[in-house]
Structure 1
Amino acid sequence: MMLSLFTRIDTVFLKVQDFESAIAWYSQVLGFTVRWRDDNSGYAALNVGETPLTLVRKSNEDETAVNSIVPFNFFVSDIEGAYEHLLQNGVKVGPIQGDGNVKWFKFQDLEGNPLEVCHFKE
């Protein structure tokens, strides 16, 4: 039996049209607290038990991009190792990207569904 490559589902993404109103609604109506937010990039992670909900501001490109919506991402402790493992198994992967705090890459399952892997210091 192979050990799981991924530690957990890190977050679930939900595209929203009105970013500010969505944050307010999820906070006030459902009682979720904001874990972090980046108004410039249009992301806000809300605390919902073990797996946060990340609200993502919709853009005009969202409607035209095929298979661009990644519904969730996987967390790994070793992103380079996970990347190499997927490559060695013939998986179509994109480049590892990073912003200084978080590293991530996208990949596709056997049906072309977009998935994403992330790593950050916990």
Structure 2
Amino acid sequence: MAMEFDGGLTCGLGVSDLGKAISWYEDVLGFALLYRMDDIAWAELSTSVDKVNLGLSQVEEVKQGGGVTPTFGVKNIEAAQAELDARGIKQDGAIQTIPEMVRLLTFFDPDGNTLMFYEDLSGSS
């Protein structure tokens, strides 16, 4: 049995307030609301990556640690960091560099969900 994937991906995150989370992801990362279903406390937003969406699920308690860290590629990580700085977005230290491979910046949404930006240094993109 071989699985046939269609190329789509939805990353789901738990949030404490669906409306506030939607606004944050729209305002800070420029994602666009695809739909919101209040009866099941779920919303889905499109990202700038083709067929990659972010699902938000309102939960009673947002669990910290472990799980998936959505990591989005940017063309200029310093510019992305400056935008986060201007908005007062909490970050986990400085930009990390793995020479000739990648630069990484970890930051957090208002519920403490971990997100990352990466800038490819390999020349393969």
Tell me the TM-score normalised to structure 2 length.
0.44
Tell me the TM-score normalised to structure 1 length.
0.45
